């Protein structure tokens, strides 16, 4: 794969739009450059970040049931993964499918070219017989373009609670893209982090080692590096919040003082009042009834909800009606 860097124009444009908004905001997809990918791998291994361990447990213990239907059809299929990342958990499914000797092509889609290169390299070593076609693209654009093989059934993976990184309206819009991008009988496996003790959730985004803080700060460093800006990261505080009503965990970077930040590539100076914030990320937690509602919006039938032993996380299998 020829990984391209993030399109400079759209990064600059999104930063300009976000910092000119009230309140200020930056899209979380830009967390993931080569440094952000590594920081996210460290986050996944943190004791507070239960999400990865719980989803790993589900896939490890229940992969046979999860893949039962796709195997029973005994037809070549496309395995499309939206926001594949390093594929650490997906490899449980890939190994099992390979052992079953079924014919399929794996299409990992990710916005980050560096993580796709890493994934392609590790799969070439660990599962050399696998047919892998990486796609550097966004969730929405890949679902619009559908470059995967026509006429085959699709199993679309959208794991890692990736849909939780969207607010309610945007999540519905992504589900609509899934509705349009699938045909009758296609399966979708989505990972959702479930509502639980608010402290457990908040701790996952406020780890003691400060890796999540660094992950957020990398966004300012990245703007400095790529867009010739002068953010002083030490004058910003990382501030995660959790609202148990909406289920929304939100992360902010708060300016501790009145300051000006100049972004050379935009030829613009942005004014920050003391304690003005930049909204950087949402990680929404769901109830099972909210998940079923999303399924119905997309024209999907809920086949089964696979949960971990503590009921922290759900991988839900939907079929297009």
In the complex, the residues that contact ligand SAM under the rule CB under 6 A are: 29, 32, 40, 83-85, 88-89, 110-112, 115, 138-139, 159-160, 162
Nearer to ligand SAM, 162 or 203 (CB): 162
Nearer to ligand SAM, 180 or 274 (CB): 180
Nearer to ligand SAM, 5 or 269 (CB): 5
Least Å distance between CB 259 and ligand SAM? 29
Q: What is the 3-state secondary structure (H, E, C) of the chain?
A: CCCCCCCHHHHHHHHHHHHCCCCEECCHHHHCCHHHHHHHHHHHCCCCCHHHHHHHHHHHHHHHHHHHHHHHCCCCEEEEEECCCCCCCHHHHHHHHHHCCCCEEEEEEECCHHHHHHHHHHHHHHCCCCEECCEECCHHHHHHHCCCCCCCCEEEEECCCHHHHCCHHHHHHHHHHHHHCCCCCCEEEEEEEECCCHHHHHHHCCCCCCHHHHHHHHHHHHHHHHHCECCCHHHEEEEEEEECCCCEEEEEEEECCCEEEEEHHHCEEEEECCCCEEEEEEEECECHHHHHHHHHHCCEEEEEEEECCCCCEEEEEEEEC
Least Å distance between CB 21 and ligand SAM? 18
Least Å distance between CB 119 and ligand SAM? 9
Nearer to ligand SAM, 162 or 182 (CB): 162
Least Å distance between CB 272 and ligand SAM? 26
Least Å distance between CB 190 and ligand SAM? 11
* Residue nearest ligand SAM (C-beta atom): 160
Nearer to ligand SAM, 174 or 261 (CB): 174
Nearer to ligand SAM, 52 or 255 (CB): 52
């Amino acid at each position: 794969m020829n990984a391209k860097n993030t399109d400079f124009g759209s990064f600059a444009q999104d930063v300009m739009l976000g910092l000119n908004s009230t309140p200020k905001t930056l899209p979380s997809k830009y967390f993931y450059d080569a440094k952000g990918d590594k920081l996210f791998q460290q986050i996944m291994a943190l004791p507070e970040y239960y999400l990865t361990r719980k989803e790993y447990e589900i896939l490890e213990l229940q992969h046979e049931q999860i893949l039962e239907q796709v195997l029973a059809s005994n037809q070549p299929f496309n395995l499309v993964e939206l926001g594949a990342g390093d594929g650490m958990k997906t490899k449980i499914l890939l190994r099992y499918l390979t052992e079953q000797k079924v014919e399929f092509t794996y299409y990992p889609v990710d916005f980050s070219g560096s993580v796709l290169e890493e994934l392609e390299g590790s799969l070439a070593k660990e599962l050399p017989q696998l047919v892998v076609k990486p796609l550097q693209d966004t969730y929405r654009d890949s679902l619009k373009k559908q470059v995967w093989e026509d006429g085959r059934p699709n199993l679309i993976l959208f794991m890692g609670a990736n849909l939780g990184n969207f607010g309610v309206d945007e999540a519905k819009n992504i589900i609509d893209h899934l509705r349009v991008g699938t045909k009758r009988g296609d399966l979708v496996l989505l990972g959702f982090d479930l509502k639980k003790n608010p402290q457990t959730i908040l701790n996952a985004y406020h780890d003691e080692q400060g890796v999540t803080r660094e992950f957020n700060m990398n966004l300012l460093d990245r703007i400095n590096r790529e867009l010739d800006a002068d953010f002083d990261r030490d004058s910003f505080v990382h501030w995660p919040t959790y609202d148990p009503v909406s289920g929304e965990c939100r992360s902010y970077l708060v300016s501790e003082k009145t300051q000006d930040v100049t972004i050379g590539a935009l030829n613009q100076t942005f004014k920050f009042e003391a304690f003005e914030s930049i909204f950087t990320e949402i990680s929404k937690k769901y109830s099972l009834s909210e998940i079923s509602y999303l399924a119905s919006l997309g024209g999907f039938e809920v086949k089964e909800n696979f949960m971990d032993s503590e009921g922290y996380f759900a991988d839900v299998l939907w079929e297009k009606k």
